């Protein structure tokens, strides 16, 4: 058990996600009360990865709880790229479906970039296609990737204004690191991004008033990497063995070392993870609103 002093440092991603999901549920009902269709989310899973199957089922449960429709599309591991693209074309054309999410990773015979860009931009609820990525880079309204958006909301729960803060992002992936850096830039932070070729990541990390870690390498960031009082967002989640056939989930940050140093920190689990699904619901409702504008002949909205 944590002392009250240390427990107060935790950023409650689970609680914030619950509040956001409840708000989305109310907005969905208002949206439908205005005569609009029930927002629909199509999730595509290729293959039988157990972790992905659990994650996809959880997304479906949360979608229904928010008052939306969920369309599950399960495809075998042997699915070809053209077969997947044919399905996406059908989902793009289906007016009942407002958001499309293709669960990653995909089998090696399928290029994820080609698949992502085949999704209609206004249905790209993962926000990973070139159009939405470009809109984010330009500071134009679009659909923002779910995990970075969730991280930003967690930061905003403890920082009313991030102007001028030095934000360090460790990890430069297209999924998290790059869009996270752009979101922080758009909030007037001074942003540094560490990647595999960064010469002294530890020294750079210690400069961050805000530290976002998204590498997928468990235990990378130790306590002495963190500037005292910094806000730490740990995106990583890895299942590691603890003996007797048991496992536990850990992040990219060594939590027990970071907790006494950080000002605020997200736990793993219970931090970024719940926010990712909540933001998927947020993006699906946003996509349904885009569809309404398109139907009214205003596609640029």
59 is catalytic: yes
237 is in an annotated binding site: yes
234 is catalytic: no
The CA angle 48-125-29, to the nearest 5 degrees, is: 110
217 is catalytic: no
Distance (Å, whole) CA 222 – CA 240: 17
H or E element that contains 248: strand 246-250
CB 272 within 8 A of CB 147: yes
Strands (E) in the chain, as ranges, are: 40-46, 69-75, 99-102, 166-170, 190-194, 210-213, 231-234, 238-243, 246-250, 264-265
The 3-state DSSP class for residue 70 equals strand
The active-site residue, picked from 124, 126, 209, 252, is: 126
The active-site residue, picked from 59, 123, 165, 187, is: 59
The active-site residue, picked from 9, 62, 103, 234, is: 103
Distance (Å, whole) CA 213 – CA 220: 9
Q: Write the burial class of residue 291 (CB in 10 Å: 0-12 exposed, 13-18 middle, 19+ buried).
A: buried
173 is in an annotated binding site: yes
* Angle separating helix axes 177-186 and 146-156, nearest 10 degrees: 40
| Annotated binding-site residue numbers | 171-173, 196, 237
Residues identified as active-site: 59, 103, 126
| Annotated binding-site residue numbers for NADP(+) | 171-173, 196, 237
């Amino acid at each position: 058990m944590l002392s009250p002093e240390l427990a107060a440092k935790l950023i409650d991603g689970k609680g914030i996600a619950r509040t956001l999901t409840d708000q989305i549920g109310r907005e969905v009902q208002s949206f439908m009360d205005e005569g609009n269709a029930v927002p629909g989310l199509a999730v595509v899973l290729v293959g039988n990865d157990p972790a992905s199957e659990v994650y996809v089922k959880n997304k479906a449960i949360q979608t229904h709880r928010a008052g939306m429709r969920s369309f599950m599309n399960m495809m075998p591991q042997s699915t070809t790229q053209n077969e997947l693209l044919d399905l996406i074309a059908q989902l793009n054309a289906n007016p009942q479906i407002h958001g499309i999410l293709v669960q990653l990773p995909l089998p090696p015979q399928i290029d994820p970039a080609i698949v992502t860009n085949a999704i209609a931009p206004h249905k790209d609820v993962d926000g990973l296609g070139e159009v939405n990525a470009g809109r984010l880079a330009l500071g134009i309204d679009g659909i923002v990737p779910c995990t970075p958006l969730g991280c930003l909301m967690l930061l905003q729960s403890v920082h009313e204004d991030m102007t001028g803060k030095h934000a360090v992002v460790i990890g430069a992936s297209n999924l998290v690191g790059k869009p996270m850096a752009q979101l922080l830039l758009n909030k007037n932070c001074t942003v540094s991004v560490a990647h595999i070729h960064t010469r002294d990541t530890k020294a750079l990390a210690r400069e961050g008033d805000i530290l976002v870690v998204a590498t997928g390498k468990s235990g990378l960031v130790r306590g002495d990497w963190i500037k005292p009082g910094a806000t730490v967002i740990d995106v990583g989640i890895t299942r590691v063995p603890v003996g007797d056939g048991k496992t536990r989930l850990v992040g990219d940050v060594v939590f027990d070392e970071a907790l006494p140093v950080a000002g605020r920190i997200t736990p793993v689990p219970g931090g970024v993870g719940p926010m990712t699904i909540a933001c998927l619901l947020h993006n699906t409702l946003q996509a349904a609103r885009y569809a309404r504008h398109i139907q009214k002949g205003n596609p640029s909205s």
